[in-house]
Structure formats: C-alpha cells, structure tokens
Structure 1
C-alpha cells in the first residue's frame, strides 16, 4: 500500500492521477468502491499540499490563471461531491473505468503549438465550461481528472507544461479541501488506511513536480497514458464481467 501511495503521489504531482494507482489497491484489500474513493480523497490533501510546495517556483508565474481556474474547479467539485452522496456502488464501478480510459486516450493526443496564436473568446468560454465540468468530476471521483485539467489548461493558455502543472496542483488542493469537508460529515472514511496512504502521497507528491522539470513532457504523457488505459481495462473487466 505504501509503494502504491508513493507511486500515486508521484503521478498526482505530475499529472493528477493518484487515484488511478490507489483505487485498484484499495479495492484489492476489500474496501468498497465509494468508500475507497472518499478515503483516497482525504489522503490526496497531503499529496496536493506537497506538490504545491514543490511547484511554487512555477506557481509564481501563473497566479492570475491559478485563481481563475481553481475557482471554477472548486465550484464544480462541490457539485460533484453532492452527486456522489446519491450514487450507488454499482453505477460508480461502471462509470470509473470509462472515464479513466477516455483520460488515458486524451493524454496521447499531441498538444498543439499555440505559442504564436491568440486564444479566442469562444475558446475561453468553452474552456471555462469544461473546467467547471471537470471540477464536478473531481468531486465525484477524480481518477484521471488531472489529465482532463491539463488538457483544458493547454487549450486555454500558452504556458509550459510545468507551469500548467502548478496551476493544476493548486486547483486540486482547493477542490479536495472542500470535498473532504463534505465527506467528513456525510460519508464513511477508512481512517485506519488514511495515515499509510498519506505518507506515501506526501512523499510522491513532492517528487512529482521535480520530475516534471527534468523529464520531457511527451515521455511522461505516454507513460501515464498507457498506465491509465491498462488500469481502465482491468477495472472495466471487473465491473462488467
């Protein structure tokens, strides 16, 4: 579990996919799907915090974008957390592999070079709506949400991957804070598991942004994408067969 947590933390710091690594691990030890998701969300606070600390160098250059993006993500996350309260484990298990698969495929799509192109108002409006919807998903489950957040950021601004990663890390922290507050009062949480995954997530979360600075984003994108697709296929098989 600790190894899975560290791996999840690194993935969270790089692209926000800690749940992809931890969700199957918690299911394997017998934790029910929705409870596993809620427990992971609590642990993600530690990974988000360490990732923000580690990416503060990039964060200084993207403060305005971070404020705008995190506000929309957090608003959507509140809605998603409320939706989760009324979801069944069966529907939850069937939805998650589909979203993870789509996220993995999306990650393989090459980013277009928008360095010398202005971003139209229509694109900005669409990206704002997309950001809000991604926020809903963050509050509901969030596996692969980091990929979706990164994709939205890539079409709505011209920042480098590391800078958008800093925006995503701060936004994820804000969203997870409000969802955890909701979950503490409304959902069952496996508190005995939280410390174990929190330690690994904190360590991995700090390492993630450091890796982003030195490893080509294309390499990271394909590795994480392949991993997401494999996990989606496994969870899909468990959910539908």
Structure 2
C-alpha cells in the first residue's frame, strides 16, 4: 500500500469516527474508503470489521461507569450479541462474494433511510424514561432475541446496526442516553469482536489497510464528542443519510451493470 493510500485511510478513519459519533454510521465512510484503495468488497468488509472492533474496545473501556449496575443485563445481551455476530460472520464467509456485492447497496440504502427517519437518541431516551416511570417493568423477554437479530446484521455488514440497537435499548430498558449508549457499545462490541475473530481465523484481512483505518477511527472517536456537542445534529444526520443514499445508488449501478 502506498503512502498516499495510507494517508487517505487515516483521513477516512477520522471521518468515519466523526460520523459514528454523530449518527452511528461509521461504515458508510470506512467501507467505501477501503473499496477506493482497491480492496475487494468482501475483504473490505472483513477488514473494516476488524478495524472497528479495535475502536469498540476503547469505547467499552471508556463506558465502564455507565455500565455499572447492568451486569446481569449485559451478560444476557452480550451473549446474544456474541452468537449473532458469529452467525453474521459465518453468513458472510459462506455466501458467494457476488451475492454480497449485490446486497450491500440495499443494506447501505436501508441504513441511510433508518437514519433519515429515526428520531435523535436523546428524544428516544426521554420517551423511554417517561414510559418506565408511568409503567415500571423489567426488560421485555424478547430483548435478547432482538439483540441476536440485530447482531447478525452487525456481524454480516453492520452499517446502522448501532442506530437500531440503541433505539431498541432506549425504548425498552428505561435507561437514559449515557447508559443505553454504553450498553449498545458493549453488546455491539461483542458482536464485532467475535465476527473479527472469525475473519482473522477463516477470512482475509488486509492489515496494511486496517491499521491506518483504525488510527483514523481512534482519532475521529476522540474528536467526535466535542464536535457533536456544538454541531447542528439534525442537519448533519440528514446530510449523512443523503450521502448514504447516494453511495447506495453508486454501488448498485456498479453491482448490476
């Protein structure tokens, strides 16, 4: 890999880290950046997952205070995340690469639409807390199953898996945004970790691309929160969603022509 590609992936990682902080859609930046540098689609997805899993470890470590008191919940949902991530990774490695190339535009388009129509996490958190006060209840019995399904998608591709998962947790657990987001980071981190392990053992990872991407993701993750606090989030979320729809159309044209 050339020095130009290395620098490009670092910058793409920074952008992906910022996008992840704003909208939970880091893969909308990091995955196509790997394609631009010549990494084949399935290999790019595996490499992207490995790079993101390195970032997940630091996010979970930083979320330990918010995870306090959620040990039993985290054990249940973390196990579902591990199983789902493993199933998603297996699906990716066992299905033909041509099938992946054809389905990815639809997945990216769906992820962008989810972001475009979903409410901001802060609103969902407020609604979940109000519901918990009016009708106190335990976590619904189907929550591990829902986590398992979302984690399958996370292990297979992952764009917007975090958006769906945090919305599910905020609306069902009664937790506020910091604790719900920390729970999402930990559970999705489990799914990414087992998928990344599977790709390392049985797939193909381009380390020369994963390293600069991980460096950029780490930097973007650090820069993201201060920027998010000051930036107009609604506008940024719409712009990112529209960019995702444009990317989906571009990849669809490539895949089907």
Q: What TM-score results when the alignment is normalised by the length of structure 1? A: 0.85
Q: CA deviation at 1:116?
A: 2.7
Selected match of 1:81 from 86, 89, 94: 89
Equivalent residue runs for 1:167-182 within 5 Å: 167-182=183-198
| 1:163 counterpart residue number | 179
Structure with higher Rg: it is 2
| 1:42 counterpart residue number | 50
Contact 1:162 1:209 in 2 (8 A): no
Q: Residues of 2 paired with 1:205 and 1:167: CA distance? A: 17
After superposition, the Cα gap between the structure-2 partners of 1:29 and 1:226, relative to the gap in structure 1 and judged at 3 Å, is same
Contact 1:48 1:205 in 2 (8 A): no
1:117 paired to 2:131: yes
Equivalent residue runs for 1:62-141 within 5 Å: 62-107=70-115, 108-110=117-119, 113-118=127-132, 124-141=140-157
1:194 paired to 2:202: no
Q: Residues of 2 paired with 1:89 and 1:81: CA distance? A: 13
Contact 1:13 1:48 in 2 (8 A): no
Aligned length: 241
Q: CA deviation at 1:136?
A: 0.8
| 1:23 counterpart residue number | 31
SS in structure 2 at match of 1:188: coil
What is the RMSD of the two structures over their aligned residues, measured on CA atoms? 2.8
Q: Residues of 2 paired with 1:63 and 1:102: CA distance? A: 32
After superposition, the Cα gap between the structure-2 partners of 1:16 and 1:177, relative to the gap in structure 1 and judged at 3 Å, is same
Contact 2:24 2:162 in 1 (8 A): yes
Q: What TM-score results when the alignment is normalised by the length of structure 2? A: 0.80
Q: Residues of 2 paired with 1:61 and 1:218: CA distance? A: 32
After superposition, the Cα gap between the structure-2 partners of 1:179 and 1:114, relative to the gap in structure 1 and judged at 3 Å, is closer
| Superimposed CA distance per residue, residues 34-56 of structure 1 (whole angstroms, 9 cap, x where no aligned partner) | 00011111111222123234444
| 1:239 counterpart residue number | 255
Equivalent residue runs for 1:197-208 within 5 Å: 197-208=213-224
Q: CA deviation at 1:2?
A: 1.2
| Superimposed CA distance per residue, residues 148-185 of structure 1 (whole angstroms, 9 cap, x where no aligned partner) | 21232233223333332222222222222212221111
Q: Residues of 2 paired with 1:47 and 1:17: CA distance? A: 14
Contact 1:58 1:163 in 2 (8 A): yes
Contact 1:17 1:143 in 2 (8 A): yes
SS in structure 2 at match of 1:114: helix
Q: Residues of 2 paired with 1:158 and 1:215: CA distance? A: 27
Q: CA deviation at 1:68?
A: 3.3
